[in-house]
Amino acid sequence: MLSDSFGRAHNYLRISLTDNCNLRCFYCMPEEEYDFTPPSRLMQAKEIVELAGLFARLGVDKIRLTGGEPLVRKDAGTVLAGLSKLPVTLTMTTNGTRLHEFEGAVRDSGMRSLNISLDTLQARTFLHITRRDLFNVVMDNIDRTLALGIRVRVNAVIMKGVNDGELSDFVAWTRDTPVHVRFIEFMPFSGNRWTSNQVFTWKEMLGRIGERFPFARLDDEPNGTAKTYRVPGHAGTFSVISTMSAPFCGTCNRLRLTADGKLKNCLFSAGETDLLGALRQGQDVEPLIRESVLGKAERLGGQFDGPFEGLHAETLHNRSMITIGG
């Protein structure tokens, strides 16, 4: 098992397949025209499976594929097939725009749960946030995924003055549709123009939702990042991921492998470990993994702590969200 110096065991790996995406969400990508990583510098399908297999032997039993948008990668189906042979629970975070093209590959991989990013239930706001007119495609693919019997968790980044007015609409959606909506506090990354006054906090979200719906707290998942609630009689649930106002670092079990093969031991870590370079040079990668995990900071990559209101995003040393992997 991979453990850090604070006794946290790490059994969950998030693998980014690409830093490319067919949407242009302003909180994720620095600009419309973006220089994506050349294919030669990305992990190839065999390398992804090889590294994932090593992590599995070291105790990782859950792998989530992320991007960018993982399904813009032409060999995504090959990666899914390879990873499905490992003794892990396999899942994915996607923007949902290409799920209909990979329906068979997702089904055959044995995935029982998917996270689909959707920040609004309004087509006009979707176009504003993503700069692409694909709202109806995403909604159709959510319905298709549910029809396959796959659990759908909808990730919505809540930004004050942008979509905080839709919180209750999302909760209303869970009445008859078995979706599990997760509201995420807006987080700072390189180039996303984050300011603290854009953060709509966990408690503010609950206050807004409570004006319309009664709800009850549910038991949290082990090592979970989300505080989960259900409105009585609703088919689905809603949760809040309170990274900024109430961090949950004490039970973190997550590691991240970027599309160019760098291991990040925290979403906010400034440092990275080049696993892909070592693999291609024939080096033993396991000591590098163990060293990275052991060096994990106690909270938030060691870059900030305390009230987020005093945080200035330009002081953080990190990548843009799209190059880390969602």
Of 64, 18, 94, 81, residue with least CA distance to 322: 18
Total-model pTM:
0.92
Write the pLDDT tens digit of every residue in 236-268: 999 999 887 887 788 999 999 999 999 999 887
Write the pLDDT tens digit of every residue in 14-71: 999 999 999 988 777 656 566 778 888 999 999 999 999 999 999 999 999 999 899 9
Cis peptide before 67 (omega within 30 of 0): no
Instruction: For residue 316, give Cα distances in angstroms to 149, 246, 249.
Output: 41, 19, 18
By CB atoms closer than 10 A (0-12, 13-18, 19+), residue 276 is buried
Q: How many domains does the chain have?
A: 1
**Which CATH number is 218's domain given?**
3.20.20.70
- 24: domain range? 2-324
Write the pLDDT tens digit of every residue in 300-325: 666 767 666 666 666 666 556 666 66
Q: Which amino acid is at 321?
A: M
Are the C-beta atoms of 38 and 62 separated by less than 8 Å? no
Cα distance between residue 141 and residue 179, in whole Å: 13
Write the pLDDT tens digit of every residue in 270-288: 789 999 999 999 999 999 9
- Provide the residue count of the chain: 326
DSSP 3-state percent helix, strand, coil across the chain (nearest 5): 35, 20, 45
The pLDDT score that the predictor gives to residue 17 is 97
Write the pLDDT tens digit of every residue in 77-94: 999 999 999 999 999 999
